[in-house]
Amino acid sequence: MRQVILDTETTGLSHATGDRIIEIGCVEVIDRRLTDRTFHYYLNPERDIDAGAFAVHGLSREFLSDKPLFANIVEELIEFVDGAEIVIHNAAFDLGFLDNEFALLKRPPFRGLASKITDTLLDARQMFPGKRNSLDALCDRFSISNEHRTLHGALLDAQLLAEVYIAMTRGQEDLSIDLIDYTVNDEEAESTSKTLPTQLKIIAASADETEQHEKILSEIAKSSKKDPIWSPLGAAQS
**CA 44 from chain center: how many Å?**
29
Q: What is the pLDDT of residue 228?
A: 59
Give me the mean pLDDT over the 204-224 stretch. Answer: 73
pLDDT exceeds 90 at position 191: no
Domains and CATH numbers, the chain: 2-168 (3.30.420.10)
What φ, ψ does residue 42 adopt, rounded to 5°? -90, 145
Annotated catalytic residue 152: yes
Q: What is the pLDDT of residue 205?
A: 73
Q: Which residue has the higher pLDDT, 207 or 74?
A: 74
DSSP bridge partners of 40: 25
pLDDT exceeds 80 at position 90: yes
Pairing status of strand 2-10 against strand 21-30: antiparallel
- With bands split at pLDDT 50, 70 and 90, how would you rate the model's confidence at 196? low
Calculate the alpha carbon distances from 1 to 30, 85, 96 in Å.
Answer: 6, 8, 25
Q: Is 236 helix (H, G, I), strand (E, B) or coil?
A: helix
pLDDT exceeds 80 at position 238: no
pLDDT exceeds 70 at position 221: no
Point out the catalytic residue in the list 40, 89, 152, 213: 152
Q: What is the pLDDT of residue 178?
A: 45
Task: Report pTM.
Answer: 0.71
